[in-house]
A and B are shown apart, each in its own frame.
Chain A
Amino acid sequence: MNHLASQLVLVPVIVPLLGAGLCLAFGRSARAQRIISILTLTIVVVAASALLWRADQFGPQAVNVGGWPADLGISLVADRLSALLLVVSTIVTLTVLLYSFGQGIVEFGRDTPLSVFHPTFLVLSAGVSAAFLSADLFNLFVGFEILLAASYVLITLGGTEARVRAGTIYVIVSLISSVLFLISIAAVYAATGTVNLAALPERIAALPEPLQLVLQLMLLLTFSIKAAVFPLSAWLPDSYPTAPAPVTAVFAGLLTKVGIYAIIRVQTTVFPEQPLRTLLLTAAILTMVVGILGAVAQSDIKRLLSFTLVSHIGYMLFGIALASEAGYAGAIFYVVHHITVQTALFLVAGLIEYRSGTTQLDRLGGLARAAPVLALLFFIPAMNLAGIPPFSGFLGKLALIQAGTEAGDWLAYTGVAAGLATSLLTLYAVAKAWNRAFWQPRDENIENDVPSTGALHPGHRTMTEDKVLRLPRGMALPTLALVTFSVALTVAAGPLVGVSQRAAAELVDRTPYIDAVLGDVP
């Protein structure tokens, strides 16, 4: 293996952190901040793409940081799964960054530097990359903490009453899950003497079965809180909607998926035996159904989208719980699809809010005529989310349903039925939002009430009439780019499904990952 090329694994973690430092140093110049952030994330996108290509061609790329042997030091590994998620997440992060420039320019003027936002955003990106790449549990924890610390700052940005209230819930839940994660790590270390994901499988298998089960349950519990799996999902719809649009978008796209990634990794690599299949399948079904029922009851677009986010986590968990190669492949494809589409929808929600001063369905209306481009931008990802053919949402759901019917037991069939029902209800929820916000004429009776939504979402400025008429290009173009990317996932579904299946095969095989980490002695 070419040792130099595998050093690319370090880039997605180190470069954003350097960029964040530079951004802080140039905190007074908005222009310098913009250039540094874009340059940083572009480098990361290129490096991640190169990593995906190499991981697909030559097998997992591993680096032992500092030259320590793998089970003592920190190893970073990019196999197909990590590299694929890394590519998608960094592309999405870059788009959201561009959107936030647009919004920043519109709201604060071209020359006002957002001194905290950009460095924190880059740190978040570094944390996500570190979590995707790390090959030991403790470094995974550190990656989680990096992205969580950044997310604490982003979710309470501006320190308004609503954001502090929502942020407090988020921070406390994250603190508890971090403590649980630490307890799990200490327990794993006490039982096995290592936290390296590649060294663990052998040592875990040597433990008595009840102990294995306890360790697996503790880790799954921790990751389920992060991934917002029902019944550990109540924090998400309460805390996400109040943050600024780009922040909510990137959280919705990435943070829960990091939890899902951790579940996939631990389930496949460390605990290949699946004593918890029934539990996971039940949790997946409940997450889908309860989440989407919550979405149906909502009257605010952002909250509605937060509930669909929870609901669709259920699809990914369903694929993981099936524990078959087809199930993992479906789950990986669905993660890629969902990161893109959910982020795009939240960006569109930000545009709606900018255009109308609110995301309350009661107060919206007639947008299809007033802003046809916005209508199109909402319609495509919304239909994609609901799984209308030929979009990637349909393909992902199809792959999962096929995997479910392949498994063939009654619980898997229940999951398939729940998936279909959830898909229909998602269509109902987004179609309702579409009808009320875009097609139905605006209710004149409540026209004058618009500013009073400030009671629910203070901190969001209501735009004056002349500004409202045009969508700012800086916000619309990145959204358009992301929607185009989500459509491109449909067009390029063949290669993408191919990579997902190869990634799943690699996960089930396990040996490439383990060999790459343990065999790579510097």
Chain B
Amino acid sequence: MSVDLALIVAIGVLVACGTTLVLERSLSRILVGFVLLSNGVNLFFIVASGPPGAAPIVGASDERMADPLPQAMALTAIVITLGVTAFGLALAYRTWQLEGHDDVQDDVEDALVIRRAERDDTSASFDEVDASLPEEEGADLPRVEDDVTQEPDGGPR
């Protein structure tokens, strides 16, 4: 199968840029990355369809026709990308409304578990049957909450 070099280079650039952007923290950059990635993949479908040819309409031309199936797939993929990107933008806007930025946050409860491990504390699910340390439990709980409420502002950027 002969392949158009320009297409391959274009796919490489698009996918490389897309991957870099997807690894960012900000949701809007991730979305731009996703769009670039999708466009790269759509071009890949064109490569997959083989050598170029006439428009795939039966009877329109005597030349060899291009393979229409990957084109149909690429069109479907474009439509889906459009819809999903719109949703992602709405999500980014909502995050910005709520938190003043659109960075993707780490999970709060994960952070909680990690903090407990750093304090060398037992996990909150530890079964303390005789509860002989009431003052430690009482002192512990509000502090955990404080950490949690601060998390959205103090979280990693």
Contacts and interface: CB of A to CB of B under 8 A. Distances in A.
B127 A432 contact: yes
A186 B45 contact: yes
A175 B89 CA distance: 13
B124 A361 contact: yes
A225 to B, nearest CB: 14
Nearest to A168: B104
Given A175-B34, A189-B70, A168 B91 contact: yes
A455 B148 contact: yes
Contacts of A304: 125
Interface residues of A, number: 52
Nearest to A238: B107
B5 to A, nearest CB: 16
Nearest to B87: A152
Interface string B87-128: 110010011001100001101111001000000000111010
Contacts of B9: none
Nearest to A142: B76
Contact of B73 (A72, A138, A298, A300): A138
B65 interface: no
Given A161-B99, A435-B127, A171 B145 contact: no
B77 interface: yes
Contacts of A166: 107
Contacts of A176: 22, 34
A186 B95 contact: no
B48 A161 contact: no
A366 to B, nearest CB: 15
Nearest to A172: B30
B139 to A, nearest CB: 11
Contact of B98 (A161, A360, A435): A161
A369 interface: no
Contact of A149 (B84, B113, B123): B84
A57 interface: no
A426 interface: no
Contacts, number: 121
A455 B149 contact: yes
A456 B125 contact: no
Interface residues of B, number: 48
Given A164-B95, A298-B125, A456-B109, A187 B48 contact: yes
A307 to B, nearest CB: 11
B80 A168 contact: no
B34 to A, nearest CB: 5
B149 to A, nearest CB: 5
A348 B110 CA distance: 24
A299 B98 CA distance: 27
A183 B44 contact: yes
A145 interface: yes
B152 interface: yes
A361 B108 contact: no
Contacts of A238: 107, 110
A190 B47 contact: yes
A297 B109 contact: no
B94 to A, nearest CB: 5
Interface string A150-168: 0011001001011011111
Contact of B109 (A138, A300, A435): A300
Given A161-B98, A171-B91, A436-B127, A445 B134 contact: yes
Contacts of B131: 443
A145 B145 contact: no
Given A195-B73, A297-B123, A436-B127, 13 more contacts: A162-B108, A169-B107, A172-B27, A175-B84, A176-B22, A178-B80, A189-B48, A238-B110, A298-B125, A299-B123, A299-B124, A445-B134, A452-B145
21 contacts: A142-B76, A149-B83, A152-B84, A161-B98, A165-B105, A167-B91, A168-B91, A168-B105, A175-B88, A176-B22, A176-B34, A182-B77, A186-B44, A186-B48, A238-B107, A297-B125, A299-B123, A304-B125, A435-B127, A449-B145, A456-B108
Interface of B: 1, 22, 27, 30, 34, 37-38, 41, 44-45, 47-49, 69-70, 73, 76-77, 80, 83-84, 87-88, 91, 94-95, 98-99, 104-105, 107-110, 113, 123-125, 127, 131, 134, 137-138, 141, 145, 148-149, 152
Interface of A: 72, 138, 142, 145, 149, 152-153, 156, 159, 161-162, 164-169, 171-172, 175-176, 178-179, 182-183, 185-187, 189-190, 195, 238, 296-300, 303-304, 360-362, 432, 435-436, 443, 445-446, 449, 452, 455-456
